[in-house]
Amino acid sequence: RPPPAAWSAMGLPPSRAACSSSGSAGDKSVPCCSRLLEAHRVLLFDCLWFSFTLKTPAGRRAAPGGDGGIEVLDVYLLPEPFSGLLGGDFAPLLLLSCRVCLEEKRIQPLPCCKKAVCEECLQRYLSAQVQLGQADIKCPITECSEHLDETTVLYNLPHDDIIKYKYFLELSRIDSSTKPCPQCKHFTTFRRRGHIPTPAKLENKYKIQCPSCQFVWCFKCHSPWHEGVNCKEYKKGDKLLRHWANEIEHGQRNAQKCPKCKIHIQRTEGCDHMTCSQCNTNFCYRCGERYRQLRFFGDHTSNLSIFGCKYRYLPERPHLRRLVRGSVCAGKLLITPLILVLGLALGAVAVVIGLFVFPIYCLCKKQRKRSRTGMPW
């Protein structure tokens, strides 16, 4: 217990050594009640100090099941005048079954639905939600549609995720005139001026230099500053990057763009069959098309297949290549049903022939067997 000097910090007046009073009848002195007041003061201070300790993470870890092993359940069995001293923001730790891990622990029920979720499960859930960039975190109980309040989230959130949560929370509260720096996340408010800018300064008005890290970025598209390129062209891709990727060096392109996620990939060695490390898409490095294949119609390495690479067959004459491959595909589409019909017809004929031939074959086989044994019919 802290020394009595700390009582004033808790809002308690200093104790008196004694108190006395004079009775109405005679000069008899009333017995001093200082010992009773002192016991009342000590009990009141214990309740307040215990409430203050449990509201800190260190004090909570010292609760039942923690490292300190302090038994706290008796405090909640205080008489009614002292039971309200703990405040309404800290509910008692009860032995409940967690709705997530199903283990019985000392749990403080959630303030929204009063369901039991242990501290470890709640911390993992909150940390996962913050990693996803969520500011309004819903209750982990599926039956509850409420959102957890900021105090509950900050109290149970791990220390490493508190800064991220405050950033996402601030980001959800700002309007469109305030954006964070792409590098240091410092918030900057864009103030529009009353005059009409000239066409030369129309794009430069969105040029922002962060006062915190001196990073230059575009407020309109929230990207690094792109000198001489508007936001629409920058979103589609940097002109210099696209020009460099399309250049042919040593008989191949400098880089090829993935047909699915659109990132540029440079081949250093190996064949034309590439696998994107971002989305695991298989594509051809020469033409940039996906690898497709279909039985009886070929794949990307077939010259006459409609899925074939354009550089494998007549690369200089694209119209003739499409005509030839289209004709082959149409012929296969027409021949395939004929082959199926012919196969079915041959199968039917074989079945009919079998129905007549099989009994004759069995009869001849039986007769030959009888003739060998010399048995009459």
The residues carrying an active-site annotation are: 271
**Tokens in use for 266?**
């440079």
What secondary structure letter does DSSP report for 138?
A: B
Of 294, 319, 314, the residue nearest 305 (C-alpha): 294
Q: Are 46 and 32 in contact (CB under 8 A)?
A: no
Task: Please give the helix or strand (H or E) that residue 245 lies within, else none.
Answer: helix 239-246
How far is it, in rounded angstroms, from Cα 251 to Cα 347? 54
Q: Are 225 and 247 in contact (CB under 8 A)?
A: no
Strands, E, within the chain: which ranges? Answer: 94-97, 104-107, 178-180, 187-189, 207-209, 216-218, 223-224, 248-249, 252-253, 256-257, 264-265, 273-275, 282-284
| Residue 279 CB partners (closer than 8 Å, separation 6+) | 258, 260, 261
Antiparallel, parallel or unpaired: β 178-180 and 187-189 = antiparallel
How far is it, in rounded angstroms, from Cα 39 to Cα 317? 103
141 residue type, one letter:
I
**Tokens in use for 79?**
């008489």
Neighbours of 359 (CB within 10 A): 10
Beta bridge partners, 209, equal 216
How far is it, in rounded angstroms, from Cα 42 to Cα 327? 99
